């Protein structure tokens, strides 16, 4: 006698194998996405840290700090819409002694980033 159909056990085994395969592939797919997002976040943080280091080096003299001009830099590829805002946080008389600088930009996949630091007036 010849069989023309699959048995219930064969169908169940095939479905189990297919389910496990889909589960594994979705796990790897989501881990690749999380890894890529972590790389983008790290790149954004490295850019902000580098910018703030450049800013502190530029404002290391009293005259440069008083001028309050932030350095202009290019964003890494894939990032856009850089906005640099400075705010005088604390003054003594007419002299600014503490300034806040905020970087805002957009990363890949339109993720917004915002980093803030404060720079104190250099000593005499």
The pLDDT assigned to 23 comes to: 86
pTM: 0.76
Distance CA 106, CA 40 (A): 11
Helix residue ranges, H only, the chain:
8-58, 62-67
Return the percentage of the chain with pLDDT > 70, whole number: 98
What local confidence, expressed as pLDDT, does residue 1 receive?
59
Domain segments of the chain as ranges: 8-120
- What digits encode the pLDDT tens for the residues 70-121? 998 999 999 999 999 999 999 999 889 999 999 999 999 899 999 999 999 9
Choose among 76, 67, 66: nearest CA to 105.
Answer: 76
**Please, what is the average pLDDT of the chain?**
90
């Amino acid at each position: 006698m010849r069989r023309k159909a699959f048995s219930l056990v064969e169908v169940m085994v095939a479905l189990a194998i297919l389910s496990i395969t889909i589960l594994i592939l979705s796990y790897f797919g989501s881990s690749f996405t999380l890894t890529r997002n972590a790389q983008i976040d790290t790149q954004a943080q490295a850019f902000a840290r580098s910018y703030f280091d450049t800013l502190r080096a530029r404002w290391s003299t009293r005259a440069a700090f008083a001028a309050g001009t932030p350095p202009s830099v290019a964003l890494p590829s894939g990032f856009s819409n850089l906005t640099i805002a400075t705010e005088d946080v604390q003054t003594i008389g007419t002299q600014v002694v503490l300034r806040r600088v905020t970087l805002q930009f957009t990363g890949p996949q339109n993720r917004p980033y915002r980093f803030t630091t404060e720079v104190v007036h250099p000593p005499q």
